[in-house]
Amino acid sequence: MKKRPRVRDIGLVLGELPVGTYNSITDVPGVKVGHCTVSFGSGALVPGQGPARTGVTAILPQAGNCFTRKLEAAAYVINGFGKSIGLPQLQELGQLETPILLTNTLNAPKVADALITYMLQRNPEIGVSTSTINVVVGECNDGYLNDIQGRHVQPEHVWQALESARSGVVPEGAVGAGTGMVTFGFKGGIGTASRLLPAEVGGFVVGVLVLSNFGSRRQLTIAGVPVGTRLVDYKEECPDDGSIMVIVATDAPLKSRQLLRLAKRVPFGLARTGSIASNGSGDFAIAFSTNLGQPHSSQPGDLQEAALVENGKLMSLLFQATVEAVEEAVLNSLFRATTVKGRDDRIVPALPLDQTVALLQRYGRLKC
């Protein structure tokens, strides 16, 4: 099968800021991503048995131990129709102390339990001589293609995603947690992108990874072009509210309040693709800094690592980087995803590239 392109491979350049080496969240130093895809069975749905079209994706936010060096972080609820785990404490304390896992809705508690075991093995003092752990798991509903009742993501799949996490190129589309996701009526899933800030303001990196599972076909917009309404030959698939998880990483040493400001810019990037954050859509953003941490053990009067002064020009560029990377990450999830047949022989087609490219050329959006 011919490899499907990313957005930039067809000559579509979104935004103004340059991209990183991999145009990925892994352009942020220390960040790694791993997937485990769980796909088996075919034909009619047998609840609890299959077919399965699901998986888990792991984002490791730093090379070191997340529990002993907690990272500054923030979470923003765009529309709260979701069942993510660990966000209240993250919002309250502004700290991330575990990898971030993404999976399907009904698998979230099972995946969280596996992540707890993973963290306990690496930090046996948890719950014995020190505090407990706040694991973070995001989710989207892949029940249109997947036997979601089966909760087929097992602890060994979680461990595989965590242990396989790497820097560099991130597989996108129908992989890991994205295996059964649907976006704008076409196959969606995992997408990623990055932006680089100018050297004169620090040369910082902003990277984004999305688990996209939202929108109706008519809403799909690419570089301002109403692509969805022009693809008249394609039947609408799974036209429900859906959801999206957005992970924003940066090496800019930002405090949780500043990271919340970045997370609040995520909806602007989503809106560029056609999102309206519909009533039943669970839309969540998590942002963290790899360059501002806090030790688990501290004494009164200890000082934290230094944060950036909130310079207006710098913050605006970080906001711009976030918006641009979110937009491109969503579109990469669509461009890279392949057609998937799931439960009850339901088929969700890949975005038709020939027609999409022709539309973008007609509107003068391609630089090739």
pTM of the model: 0.96
Whether residue 308 contacts residue 98, with contact meaning beta carbons closer than 8 Å, is answered with: no
Q: Tell me how far the alpha carbon of residue 180 is from its chain's centroid.
A: 14
Tens of pLDDT, residues 195-230: 999 999 999 999 999 999 999 999 999 999 999 999
pLDDT at 234: 64
Q: Give how many domains the chain has, as a whole number.
A: 1
Q: How many Cβ atoms are within 10 Å of 319's Cβ, its own excluded?
A: 16
- Report cis status (omega within 30 of 0) of the bond before 51: yes
Tens of pLDDT, residues 117-148: 999 999 999 999 999 999 999 999 999 999 99
pLDDT at 162: 98
pLDDT at 342: 98
pLDDT at 239: 56
Asked, for residue 228, whether it belongs to a domain, the answer is yes
pLDDT at 3: 87
**Token digits of residue 83:** 């069942």
In DSSP notation, 16-45 reads SSPP-SSSSGGGSTT-EEEEEEEEE--SS-
CA angle 310, 251, 175 (to 5 degrees): 130
What contacts 129, CB < 8 A, 6 or more positions away? Answer: none
Asked, for residue 302, whether it belongs to a domain, the answer is no
Its domain, for residue 77, covers: 7-296+307-360
pLDDT at 178: 99
Tens of pLDDT, residues 238-255: 555 789 999 999 999 999
Bridge partner residues of 293 (DSSP): 71
Asked, for residue 368, whether it belongs to a domain, the answer is no
Q: Tell me how far the alpha carbon of residue 83 is from its chain's centroid.
A: 15
What amino acid positions are annotated as catalytic residues? 243, 281, 283
Asked, for residue 2, whether it belongs to a domain, the answer is no
Domain with 338 in it: what CATH number?
3.60.70.12
Dihedral over Cα of 259, 313, 274, 231: its sign: negative
Q: How many Cβ atoms are within 10 Å of 189's Cβ, its own excluded?
A: 33
Spans of the chain, pLDDT less than 50: none
Asked, for residue 169, whether it belongs to a domain, the answer is yes
Asked, for residue 17, whether it belongs to a domain, the answer is yes
Asked, for residue 301, whether it belongs to a domain, the answer is no
- The per-residue b/e assignment along 256-283, b for 16 or more CB within 10 angstroms, e otherwise, is bebbbbbbbbbbbbbebbbbebbeebbb
